[in-house]
Chain A
């Protein structure tokens, strides 16, 4: 098989297909590399940096880097693990993430990665930015307090005629998710659900369906992100 190559992740030799990203190859080989902004079939963005790995001594994002033969990937070294933890903690303090009040709690990928790393409290001071909850559509709310600016919605949610619905305005720490209100008619129930679903946190909320799964039954109640529960 000419399109199969070998590389190592944390010393473990794995086989990958040429053209795959490091994240994809790792997944196929049951190696967990945490990701937030990466999403199936979307062009990698590299906003969250959580999948940062060291390749031949250089730090790259695993979601946006293709495998190469003989590549040596450092995934769970003390340095990379602490960097990822710090990144997750930065995401927590730059927003207002009140898990107890959040519809996405238990299904939230940010929270799940924080659990994975056993974070009890962020090392950084909370910034408590003033952000709002915005009703943007009969079916959708944007909870800006929780947005981690991963841009999965920007890349993944399109109307039937292929037009984007979400974007970001402003810059730096004032950056904010916006929705094209002029295309409200193009957002049906299915697209609204897809938008809420593609959001890794509880920033895009579909109205009328919060807290539908009881505590204990939610995705990450039952299994730890990236691995089977109890394994």
Chain B
């Protein structure tokens, strides 16, 4: 048991789609459990790192200060760090706001957007506890060193499976045409 690699995962500015795709490996998750052990992850609901991990898997890029703090925490606690999916690799959908001034983004989201409930008094949330939004969405590898990139939106479950099993077993990853997609 002690020799099993320990895996941690996080979703930063993502939609949890990459985590869903991880679960899409279906019954192979039972095989995966034989191969690895999970630590901090939304899957295990472990909130804090309990030990040094071998592999950290990051979904999503950095759109606010908390994402950055979280990502740095993962880098500190994981030997290998993986960007999983387009958002982690290049910002993805959240990065569509890049180039639009923060004021415009916040006002669209909280004051003027079509989904703002006109019945309430709309405000832009601003509490000490809330993280600060960054000037743009940053890919993970601009903030910390990333060892591997697994593309896709979300990455194909088979690709995630192939990647994790080869990483754990130390074999070379053969990228199959069918599993490599950017969308």
Contact = CB atoms under 8 A, between A and B. Distances in A.
A118 B175 CA distance: 7
A101 interface: yes
Contacts of B164: none
A130 B93 contact: no
Contacts of B72: none
B182 A99 contact: yes
B114 interface: no
Contacts of A224: 177
B96 A98 contact: yes
B90, B96, B180, B182, most chain A CB atoms within 10 A:
B182
Interface string B127-169: 0000000001001011000001111010000000000000000
B182 A105 contact: yes
B150 A115 contact: no
A130 B141 CA distance: 20
Main secondary structure of the interface of A (DSSP, over half): loop
Contacts, number: 54
Contact of A121 (B136, B149, B175, B183): B149
A191 B177 CA distance: 34
Interface residues of B, number: 26
Given A100-B153, A100-B182, A126-B139, A121 B93 contact: no
Given A100-B86, A115-B177, A224-B177, A121 B92 contact: no
A203 interface: no
A38 B90 CA distance: 28
Contacts of A120: 148-151, 175, 180
Interface in B72-113: 83, 86, 89-93, 95-96, 98-99
A197 to B, nearest CB: 20
A100 B93 contact: yes
A169 B153 CA distance: 34
Contacts of B151: 120-121
A215 interface: yes
